[in-house]
Amino acid sequence: MERWDAATPSSDPLWEALVRADRDPGGARAALDRALASRTAVLSDPTETYLEAVAAERIGDRETALALYSRLDSIPLHPDRLDHGWGFRTLSYLARGRLYESAGDRSRAEAHYRLFLDSTVGSDGLTREARRRVEELAGSFGRPLPSN
């Protein structure tokens, strides 16, 4: 990530927040605050929102990350053309499941893992992870898993 950053002549605060999140959370926080205060015309709204949420999550700001991931639910997406927002919205369900679970909110965690499973097809690693988490969270409640 740092080599990529060094080769990228960008001073975008969102990019700075993403790059600095692991090594300099304070600097990443300041960069994220600047990014949140101004929108860029370069990225689509779903892309920018998702990346802001990832940055917030990586610096440990659970509340901001949850709010940004949740914002993806209200951004209109286009069914008639390739719109990456659909993928970001789906990935946000998994991220919210993880964040709610880390906060001890098992009910919301399970609900978001189920939303992720309902929105995906296949058996890739993320789908297997969500399915495993739902099974563990559902526990003795006997709630059925999504069929896909």
Confidence (pTM): 0.79
User: What is the model's pLDDT at position 123?
Assistant: 60
Q: Is 27 a member of any domain?
A: yes
Q: What is the CATH number of the domain that holds 78?
A: 1.25.40.10
**Looking at the predicted structure, is the pLDDT value of residue 140 above 50?**
no
Residue 125 pLDDT more than 90? Answer: no
The tally of domains found in the chain comes to 1
Query: End-to-end alpha-carbon separation of the chain, Å?
Result: 35
CA atoms within 13 A on the CB side of 74: 5
pLDDT, tens digit, for every residue of 80-117?
A: 887 888 899 999 999 999 999 999 999 999 999 999 99
The answer to whether residue 146 is domain-embedded is no
Return the CA Rg of the chain. 17
Does 145 fall in a domain? no
Q: What is the pLDDT of residue 6?
A: 62
- Determine, yes or no, domain membership for 147: no
How far is the C-alpha of 40 from the C-alpha of 99, rounded, in Å?
Answer: 27
Q: Tell me if 87 is assigned to some domain.
A: yes
Residue 37 belongs to what domain range? 2-140
CA 40 to CA 62: how far, in whole Å? 23
